[in-house]
Structure 1
């Protein structure tokens, strides 16, 4: 497949690029600073672009089979970046008629597991309070994605960890795995790539966790 990856210098984004190349896909990585992308490959095209102009981004999404986004705030002071930058991606995709989109969000933005225990509810409440601006940004981003003309999927992981790819994780379409507290960034990337070709995940939020 021909894939475009936004947020390609982030922890999840770099893993998406690496795993997609390993799987034999052609990857276009859109970055502000090419030096921040450590992945290399013959099938990798690196495009330098500031994500404030949909017209500048259009060539990077034209003719692609799917677009994957790891865009998001890296700290509380960056709250707002997910909505603003994803809006540019959406406008570019809609202008080019590129339909498949998979974006990363976060578990507290989606529904809690039906059998959520007191400890899990307490932890979710604390985290949501501390990072309320970040999650408000992600909720707004999800709303923009859901209102778009794309065939979207929103992937919602819990606390992210820098661990090697395992391929052993749980996904729940329209919900969240019970007692799912952690997941490796590499496994989130793996799930996003797998969901790209899953018709059952189109226009759905998908919870993913160990």
Structure 2
């Protein structure tokens, strides 16, 4: 398969691109900063394009067999529309080129999961605070994005991870039409699952979650890590 990856230069997108290549596919990694992309491969094309540019998106999507969107925007009190505008352009381009398969990343944070398995006590305190303050604009736009994807008429799957953190290798993660487990998802697990979904017809028209249950940080470890990150950028 030839797979177009949007948000490819973010922490998750880079892992998605690597997993796609490692499983034998070819890839077009789309980023506004192609010179910053960290690796090369004979089966990889790094494309300098802005997901807000409909014409540029159309050029990338043409000829793809599937599209993976891992667009990412840091929390902000300012209005955010990158998810919805970007996916709207992706959907339009896919219709124009008759590309059917779309996998788009959202977040469990944009939705309430009363059946979440083993939620830590800290989540009950922090989640309402984030969703009403610094995360509100992000989650609002993720919900708009999901509406666009689910109404697209494409062969779509929406993937909702929980709080993202880093591990060196995939784990035995929990994924599918299930309630989230705990409150974290390793980026490498999300990348692995997205790569599998590209050719998975059983998840077409479904919203799924992916949860990591091994080697997970505590809430406070996670908050310290995120506070110290120096590369908090918009990933598209």
TM-score (norm 1): 0.91
Q: Tell me whether 1:128 sits opposite 2:131 in the alignment.
A: yes
Q: Residue 152 of structure 2 aligns to a residue in which SS?
A: coil
Which residue of the partner structure matches residue 173 of structure 2? Answer: 169
Q: Distance in 2 between matches of 1:147 and 1:193?
A: 23
Match of 2:183 among 181, 184, 195: 181
* CA distances 1:125-161 after superposition (whole Å, capped 9, x unpaired): 2332231111001000111111112111111111100
Which residue of the partner structure matches residue 155 of structure 2? Answer: 151
Q: Distance in 2 between matches of 1:63 and 1:187?
A: 27
Deviation, 1:172, is: 2.9
Aligned residues: 208
Deviation, 1:122, is: 4.2
Q: Residue 175 of structure 2 aligns to a residue in which SS?
A: strand
Deviation, 1:176, is: 2.3
Q: Tell me whether 1:50 sits opposite 2:45 in the alignment.
A: no
Give ranges in structure 1 of 5+ residues lacking alignment: none
Which residue of the partner structure matches residue 195 of structure 1? Answer: 197
Does the CA contact (< 8 Å) of 1:111 and 1:176 recur in 2? no
Deviation, 1:111, is: 4.9
RMSD: 1.9
The runs of at least 4 aligned residues of structure 1 exceeding 6 Å deviation read: none
Q: Residue 60 of structure 1 aligns to a residue in which SS?
A: helix
Does the CA contact (< 8 Å) of 1:73 and 1:80 recur in 2? no
Q: Distance in 2 between matches of 1:44 and 1:33?
A: 15
- Seen in structure 2, the aligned counterparts of structure 1 residues 113 and 166 have a Cα distance that, compared at 3 Å, is farther
Deviation, 1:123, is: 4.0
Deviation, 1:209, is: 0.6
